[in-house]
């Protein structure tokens, strides 16, 4: 089986960079997809690899990274380093998201819908990685357009970054919201 085929994703716990307010939760990372590229040269083929990686603490912090190298472990290492540089704190509502939201990246659109407790993460593998490492446990998703792993991951992250909790909306509007 080649590295770019559907092997089970590996999960590692990283003790590296952490956000200042959350010292108790270590960051975990997973490889969403490994891409293989070949270049034909005089002596044969030269392969290079790229790794799409998601890093999160499963408690509202998530980051996405992309690393390229001549061998897979080095590409994954670079992807993890890139993801840790781009960590985002998300507004979650317990086990689910506070409201329905749409994310978009290039030709991919994704709809994220809050779900009742016990539903689980109903999503494809690319969106599932981002949602689970962000700490979302109950959500429904639907992807429209391109289903490329890179686009789906970035569209999911875009949707999660659009989330606002009730207090934030109240302060922005200057009114009290009764739900």
Q: Nearest 5°: CA angle at 58, between 54 and 168?
A: 100
How far apart (Å, rounded) are the C-alpha atoms in residues 28 and 14?
A: 6
Stretch 135-158: mean pLDDT, rounded? 97
Q: Does residue 127 belong to any structural domain of this protein?
A: yes
One domain, residues 126 and 165: yes
Smallest CA-to-CA distance from 134 within 33, 4, 5, 28 is with: 28
Total domains in the chain come to 2
Tell me what pLDDT residue 13 has: 55
Q: Does residue 2 belong to any structural domain of this protein?
A: no
Which residue would you say has higher pLDDT here, 19 or 95? 95
- Among residues 89, 109, 124, the one where a domain terminates is 89
Q: How confident is the model at residue 152 (pLDDT cuts 50, 70, 90)?
A: very high
Contact 55, 27 (CB under 8 A): yes
Query: Which structural domain, as residue segments, surrounds residue 109?
Result: 101-172
Which residue would you say has higher pLDDT here, 142 or 94? 142
How far apart (Å, rounded) are the C-alpha atoms in residues 111 and 63?
A: 19
One domain, residues 67 and 17: yes
Q: The pTM is what?
A: 0.84
**CATH no. for residue 72?**
3.30.160.20
Q: How confident is the model at residue 17 (pLDDT cuts 50, 70, 90)?
A: very low
Q: Does residue 37 belong to any structural domain of this protein?
A: yes
Tell me what pLDDT residue 179 has: 67
- pLDDT value at 170 more than 60: yes
Residue given tokens 């109240």 in the structure block: 170
Tell me what pLDDT residue 60 has: 93
Q: Does residue 3 belong to any structural domain of this protein?
A: no
SS3 14: strand
**CATH no. for residue 115?**
3.30.230.10
Angle between helical axes of 125-134 and 149-161 (0-180°, round to 10): 30
- Among residues 54, 89, 124, the one where a domain terminates is 89
**What are the tens digits of pLDDT across the range 62-85?**
999 999 999 999 999 999 999 999
- Among residues 64, 89, 114, the one where a domain terminates is 89
One domain, residues 78 and 114: no
What one-character-per-residue DSSP string does 58-106 give?
Answer: SSSEEEEEEEEESSHHHHHHHHHHHHHHT-EE---BTTB-SS-EEEEET
Q: Does residue 6 belong to any structural domain of this protein?
A: no
**What are the tens digits of pLDDT across the range 100-128?**
999 999 999 999 999 999 999 999 999 99
């Amino acid at each position: 089986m080649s590295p770019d085929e559907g092997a089970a994703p590996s999960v590692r716990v990283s003790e590296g960079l952490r956000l200042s307010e959350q010292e108790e939760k270590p960051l975990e990372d997973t490889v969403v997809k490994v891409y293989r590229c070949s270049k034909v040269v005089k002596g044969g083929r030269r392969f290079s690899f790229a790794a799409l990686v998601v890093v999160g603490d499963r408690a509202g912090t998530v980051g996405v990274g992309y690393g390229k190298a001549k061998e897979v472990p080095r590409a994954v290492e670079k992807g993890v380093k890139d993801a840790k540089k781009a960590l985002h704190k998300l507004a979650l509502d317990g086990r689910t998201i506070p409201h329905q939201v749409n994310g978009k990246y290039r030709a991919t659109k994704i709809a994220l819908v809050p779900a009742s407790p016990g539903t689980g993460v109903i999503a494809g593998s690319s969106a599932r990685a981002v949602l689970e490492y962000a700490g979302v446990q109950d959500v429904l998703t639907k992807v429209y357009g391109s289903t490329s792993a890179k686009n789906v991951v970035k569209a999911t992250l875009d949707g999660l970054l659009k989330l606002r909790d009730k207090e934030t909306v109240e302060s922005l509007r200057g009114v009290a919201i009764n739900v």
